[in-house]
Structure 1
Amino acid sequence: MLKEELQLLQEPGSYVGEVVKVMGKSKVLVKVHPEGKYVVDIDKSIDITKITPSTRVALRNDSYVLHLVLPSKVDPLVNLMKVEKVPDSTYDMIGGLDQQIKEIKEVIELPIKHPELFESLGIAQPKGVLLYGPPGTGKTLLARAVAHHTDCTFIRVSGSELVQKYIGEGSRMVRELFVMAREHAPSIIFMDEIDSIGSARMESGSGNGDSEVQRTMLELLNQLDGFEASNKIKVLMATNRIDILDQALLRPGRIDRKIEFPNPNEDSRCDILKIHSRKMNLMRGIDLKKIAEKMNGASGAELKIMLLKSA
């Protein structure tokens, strides 16, 4: 064991790079910071089928031959954000949001399942979608459902989790979040409470905390500008304060569709009650329509809690 360790220590250092594109059976385009991009050969011991875009690799410092595939360098905190490969939520579990489901299918499901339609028309796929409305109106549930119906990895993060104590930590987590999304594509990044980092910027912040939030937001803008929507990565953001969001975040090319989630009307409340009571043994004589009439202004989440308490 000591002999192997000595041999490892005596080996010359390697350059660490990131695969941009696989080019044929024996060459790969690799990005090496800060030098640039190179087309390199692959060592015979490497299985090229295991190399995909965004894979971290090691290049020999004398010949730039790719000789080692490295593990993903993703912060453990970011890894905790990844949810199961396919969430178990479905459209059937959502009541009173027929219009919102239709819109999310147009901008998320259709491009992922049928990208050729956009290519044939010569138009760019939507990148990001903003879901806005009061708390408890089904924004997260619909985001999970579209991930289920598109067989996408669902990566959820709260904007408040990206507000870090130390300078540069928030922006680093944003970068690694998108690295992980590329590694697990097709994937949907769901950023809840986006107003935590995406509020309108002031000309002069009140302290280092404000400056760090702005750095994190600028990194998010850079990431939104830097990836191709055709790479099967979609970004969903949610907020209940659309009025305070920075216009730079909302412009087309970053956020291509805004979908409103209002509190449900009477018919929608009745639909929600029916969905959540399907598997409940309710007492005879309970009239869900009358309950829906009396709960004016209630959100979907409040209706569900009311049913659970009365069951």
Structure 2
Amino acid sequence: MMESGARPATNEGIQQYYHTKIDELQLAVGEKTQNVRRLEAQRNELNAKVRLLHEELQLLQEQGSHVGEVIKPMDKKKVLVKVHPEGKYVVDLDKAIEMKDVQPNCRVALKNDSYKLHKILPNKVDPLVSLMMVEKVPDSTYDMIGGLDKQIKEIKEVIELPVKHPELFESLGIAQPKGVLLYGPPGTGKTLLARAVAHHTECCFIRVSGSELVQKYIGEGSRMVRELFVMAREHAPSIIFMDEIDSIGSSRLGGGSGGDSEVQRTMLELLNQLDGFESTQNIKVVMATNRIDILDSALLRPGRIDRKIEFPPPSEDVSAQTVAVDETKSISNVSSRPGWTF
């Protein structure tokens, strides 16, 4: 007889005992093998994260790139680039950049040491700019405007004709107007007329108030102006309607500081943008103000916003025409309802 806990005495018992031990060891080996594989997978994952962190650290330790805007390609491997606020440079292209990908007004990165163009950046639009009122095609028409026949005729000549028939200006060899200034007391139809001309030209209507471009941080207002024109190019054909332009376009005074100097920076950037796009790019600028007397003369010089349309206070005849238009709209709306006839 075997004592309790002793090995079996018979051969059969011994074999069964060792088979059981072998199975237990194989099971333990399998578990350990799985643990090793799991740990190796975790180690590989951590090593990959470490490599990424090393690469990010190297990128952070490298000198930063200058951000510029392409003005125009010069030849096969050279481009004229504007870098804010330093100036304009003729730079070389990196071998990885194709000239066909370099388009005017696109954002690019330049190496800090050699100013070589090594990356094309996506167009960046500030969220505040993208939230500005943008309408694909406004629903306002000339028929909704009463008593402004003269103003409608003038804005057709300045905005609608160049957009619809640019070949006329090209055949005559004259430059298209870049924009127009609408001036007059509040409530005289300036905004409605701007929306109507956008409707009849099938242009995207981008509305911004001049007061929205007055920012408290240095450079923010001018950056928003740049990105506003970037967005206009992306939505071309487009009309930028800048209401209350006197907020940033008033006459500049010497010795400005603080908020006044920031407003002047925004104004200078607006002038640069007006000079920086061609009138043939299907972008038109319509400005509105009730204080034309305080506007800077640089804004209204030839080649910028040199066309002006006056909106005088309505006379009795104009008021009667406006009322007639409103009555026609009201009768039309009521007549379209079931059960109503006139």
Q: Which residue of 2 aligns with 1:270?
A: 320
Superposed CA deviations along residues 212-270 of structure 1, whole A, max 9, x for unmatched, are 11121122112212221111111111000111111121211111211001122222212
Q: Is the 8 A contact 2:183 2:310 kept in 1?
A: yes
The partner residue of 1:133 within 180, 184, 194 is 184
1:117 matched to 2:168: yes
1:85 matched to 2:136: yes
Further displaced range: 127-136 or 33-42: 33-42
C-alpha spacing 1:18/1:163, structure 2 compared with 1 (3 Å): closer
Superposed CA deviations along residues 158-188 of structure 1, whole A, max 9, x for unmatched, are 1111111112211111111112212221111
Q: Secondary structure at the match of 1:185?
A: coil
- Structure 2: where are the runs of 5+ without partners? 1-44, 333-342
Q: Which residue of 2 aligns with 1:254?
A: 304
* Distance in 2 of aligned mates of 1:65 and 1:226: 21
* Distance in 2 of aligned mates of 1:224 and 1:137: 26
- Structure 1: where are the runs of 5+ without partners? 283-311
Q: State the AA in 1 paired with 2:172.
A: L
Q: Larger relative CO (CA 8 A, sep 6+): 1 or 2? A: 1
- Report the aligned-residue RMSD: 3.5
Q: Which residue of 1 aligns with 2:23?
A: none
C-alpha spacing 1:55/1:269, structure 2 compared with 1 (3 Å): same
Q: Which residue of 2 aligns with 1:280?
A: 330
Q: State the AA in 1 paired with 2:231.
A: M
Further displaced range: 269-278 or 6-15: 6-15
* Distance in 1 of aligned mates of 2:299 and 2:202: 27
Q: State the AA in 1 paired with 2:217.
A: Y
Q: Is the 8 A contact 1:157 1:192 kept in 2?
A: yes
Q: Which residue of 2 aligns with 1:304?
A: none
Q: Is the 8 A contact 1:144 1:154 kept in 2?
A: yes
Q: Which residue of 2 aligns with 1:235?
A: 285
Q: State the AA in 1 paired with 2:291.
A: R
Structure with a larger share of its residues in helix: 2
* Distance in 2 of aligned mates of 1:111 and 1:260: 20
* Distance in 1 of aligned mates of 2:254 and 2:79: 41
1:144 matched to 2:233: no
Q: Is the 8 A contact 2:181 2:305 kept in 1?
A: yes
The partner residue of 1:182 within 229, 233, 245 is 233
Q: Which residue of 1 aligns with 2:206?
A: 155
Q: Which residue of 2 aligns with 1:103?
A: 154
Further displaced range: 210-219 or 94-103: 210-219
Instruction: Give the Å deviation of 1:280.
Output: 2.5
The partner residue of 1:221 within 271, 274, 295 is 271
The partner residue of 1:209 within 250, 254, 259 is 259
Q: Is the 8 A contact 1:30 1:39 kept in 2?
A: no
Q: Which residue of 1 aligns with 2:221?
A: 170
TM-score (norm 2): 0.68
Further displaced range: 271-280 or 135-144: 271-280
Q: Which residue of 1 aligns with 2:336?
A: none
